Amino acid sequence: MSDLFAHLNPPQLQAVTLPRVHALILAGAGSGKTRVLTTRIAWLVATGQVSPHGVLAVTFTNKAAKEMLARLGALVPINPRGLWIGTFHGLCNRMLRAHYREAGLPQTFQILDATDQLAAIKRLLKYLNVDDERYPPRELMHFINAHKERGLRAAQVEAYDPHTRKKAELYAEYEAQCQREGVVDFAELLLRCYELLQRNEPLRRHYQERFRHILVDEFQDTNSLQYAWLKLLAGGGAALFAVGDDDQSIYAFRGAEVGNMREFEREFAGANVIRLEQNYRSHGNILAAANALIKHNRARLGKNLWTDAGDGEPIRVFEGFTDLDEARFVVDEIRALVDEGFSPTQIALLYRSNAQSRVLEHELFARGIPYRVYGGLRFFERQEIKHALAYLRLLANPDDDTAFLRVVNFPARGIGARSLESLQAMAHQLHSCLYNAAASLTGKAGAAVAGFIRLIERLRQETEGLRLPELVEHVIEHSGLAAHYRGEKEGQERLENLDELINAAATFVDEEGAVGEASALVAFLTHAALESGEHQAGMGEAAVQLMTVHAAKGLEFDAVFITGLEQGLFPHEHAAQERDGLEEERRLMYVAITRARKRLYLCHAQSRLLHGQTRYCLPSIFLEEIPQDLLRFLSRARPAAPAANREAVADAAWLAGAAGELPGGLRVGMNVRHAKFGFGVIVDAEGGGDDAKVQVNFGSAGMKWLALAYAKLDPA
C-alpha cells in the first residue's frame, strides 16, 4: 500500500482512504483530482473492499475516461473490460444496449449526433409543412434538448403561449419520428436510461446492489438530470464520491448546475467534505490573484489554493491604446519569451470570444510566428465568415461559381439540389457561369434563382461608393446573414465574428490605404484568401496556442496571456442580463488565471473596433479585484505617429493628455469616476478653462456630455 500512497499529500490520502461513505471532494485547480480518483479506485479494489465490477466511475469526456483507465492500469493489475468507467452518455448507452427491450428500443438502435439530429428536425418540419423561419430548426433542437436535460417529455412542457405550445407539439412529433426510426439523440440516451431505471424496480435494484462505489469527476458540470441519475443509482446504499470545483463551473449555457454541489452537501446528510487546496501547477502570485478574485463570488463552498513552489514573478498588466496595439505587444512578448527559452507550445493566448482571435491571428501571421487555434477554426475558416466573403466575392466577380454555390441557398430561399443541378447543366450547355445562366432557367426553380440574382444586383447598387467597412457591414446586414444568425439560439458568437470581419475591413483600409471601393474590395478579398491559407502550424510543429477560455479548461501552460480584459468583453456584456451572470464570468476568469504555471499577462485596450467604428473601453472590473501588490504595470510607450485612421484616435487621445488643456489634470482616454453615473472613460473634450466640457462613456449609463465647472469627475 505504501507505494500506492507515495505521492499523496495528507488531504489527498484522507480522501482516498475514506470508508464507504458519501463524500464531496472540493478539488481546486491543479490539485491532483485525477490522481485522487484513480488511487481511490485502486485502493478499494486492492484491499478487497469492492470487486472491479462493483465500481462505477463517471467522467465528462472520453479522453478523461481513457486517462483514468490508463492510470488505473498502472496502479493495480486489473482487466479494464470489466470496469464501468466512462462518460454519462457512454454508460447510459451501455445500459440501454443491455436492456433495449425494457427501454422500448430496437436492438440495433442508432445514435444521432448533433448534425444528424438537426437534419432529422429539418426533415420533420418539411414533412409537417412548418415554417422554418418561425420555428428555426436549430432553435427547436435546443428547445428539445434543454427539456430532455431537465427530465421533461413533450407532454410535461409548460406552455404559456401559443408559440411554446407549438414547439411542444413539434417535440412530441420528433419523439414519435425517432421512435419509428429506431434512433436516439444524445440527450435521449440519458433520459431514456433514467426513465428505465425509475420505472423498472428489479433492474434498478440490480444496479443499485451491483455498484457499491460511484465516483464522479467534474461534478460541478452536472445538469439536473445527470444528478438525478446518480442519486437513483446510489439509492441502494452505494457510496457517492463526487469530485469537483464550484469555482470552475463555467458551463451554465450547457445546462450545468453549479448548485448541485451545494445540494449534494445538503441532501446527503453527514457527507464528508474534503478540500484539496495544494496546487501543483502555478506559482504563488498567480494563485493569490485567483483566490482574491473568486472571493467576490457569493455562496461558494470555499477553499484557498496554495503552493510550496514560491511566489514566482509578479503578474504583468499591459494597457494598449487599441486592440491592434495590444496584439503587437503580445507578439513582441512571445518573441521575448521564446528567446528566454519558453517553448511556443507552452505559450497560450486566451480570449473570451472567438471573434477576438482575428486581430491576434493577423499579427502572428504578419510576424511569421507559427500558431494553432485549439478547439476551433481559424477566423477566415469559420462558416459565417466564408458565407460573408462569398457574397462579397460575387459583388466583385459574378463569374465566381464557387461563391455562387455557397450562398445561393444560404440563408435558405427554396433552391434545392435538383434546381442547382438543372442550373449547372444549363451553364455547361451555354458555356457560361452560373450567374449568367440563371436567366435561362425557367419554372419555380428559375424564379427562386432569379430572386437571388436580384438580391446580388441590389447589393451591388446599394454599396456603390461606400467605404470598404460600410460595404462589408451593408452586405452582412442586407444579404440575410445577420438575420439568419440572430434567429439561432447560439448565433451570438457567429454575429460577433461577422462584426469582426467589418473590423478586419477597417483595419485593412487603414493599413493598406486603399481608396476606391472596387479596388479596395478586390484587395481585401485577396488579403482574406492569403490569411486563410495553410498558415496554421502543422501537427508536431512547435506553435503558440490560441483558444477561448472555455476551451482552455483542463489545460495548463508555462506562460498565459489573457486578452481583451474590458467591461462588456470580459466580463461579457450579456452577463448583466442573466441570473448570476457576473459570477459565472468571474469563475471563467478564475479558470483563465489558473491555466498559468510561471508567467501570467493581463492585457486590455483603451479602444477597440466594433462595427468598423472605434469604441472606447473601460478596464475589466476583474483587474480591480486582484490585489495591486501582485501586479507589475508595464510602461506604455507612445505609439509612433501613424497614417492609419484607427490609430489616429489613440494618438489624438495621447496628445490631448500631453497638452494638459483640461482642468484637474483630466485628459481624453482617462478613466474617471462620477458620483451618479459611476466609472467611465473620457472620449472627447471641447472648450477650455471654465468652459471645458467632456464626453464620457459610462458603459451601461450611456454617453454623457458634462461641464467640468459643475460636474465633479475624479480620476479612477
What are the catalytic residues? 33-34, 217-218, 248, 595
Gyration radius (Cα) of the chain, Å: 29
Distance between start and end Cα atoms, the chain: 58
HSE toward the beta carbon, residue 253, CA cutoff 13 A: 13
The angle at the Cα of 675, spanning 674 to 676, to the nearest 5 degrees, equals 95
Contact 559, 517 (CB under 8 A): no
DSSP characters for 122-174?
HHHHHHTT--TTTS-HHHHHHHHHHHHHTT--GGG----SHHHHHHHHHHHHH
DSSP characters for 584-626?
HHHHHHHHHHTTEEEEEEEEEEEEEEETTEEEE-PBPHHHHTS
Across the strands, what pairs with 273? 24
C-alpha cell at 11: 488531504
Grid look-up 457574397 returns 391
How many Å apart are CA 317 and CA 529, to the nearest integer?
34
Cis peptide before 52 (omega within 30 of 0): no
Contact 644, 510 (CB under 8 A): yes
How many Å apart are CA 693 and CA 658, to the nearest integer?
17
Contact 194, 163 (CB under 8 A): no
Longest dimension (CA), the chain: 86
The angle at the Cα of 660, spanning 658 to 665, to the nearest 5 degrees, equals 115
How many Å apart are CA 242 and CA 249, to the nearest integer?
14
How many Å apart are CA 371 and CA 113, to the nearest integer?
30
Contact 560, 596 (CB under 8 A): yes
Q: Give me the helix-helix angle, 186-199 and 224-233, nearest 10°.
A: 40
C-alpha cell at 211: 455498484
DSSP characters for 79-100?
-GGG-EEEEHHHHHHHHHHHTT
DSSP tag of 439 = G
How many Å apart are CA 343 and CA 473, to the nearest integer?
40
217 residue type, one letter = D
Query: How many other β-carbons are positioned within 10 Å of the β-carbon of residue 64?
Result: 20
Contact 505, 472 (CB under 8 A): yes
Query: How many other β-carbons are positioned within 10 Å of the β-carbon of residue 661?
Result: 15
Grid look-up 505559450 returns 347
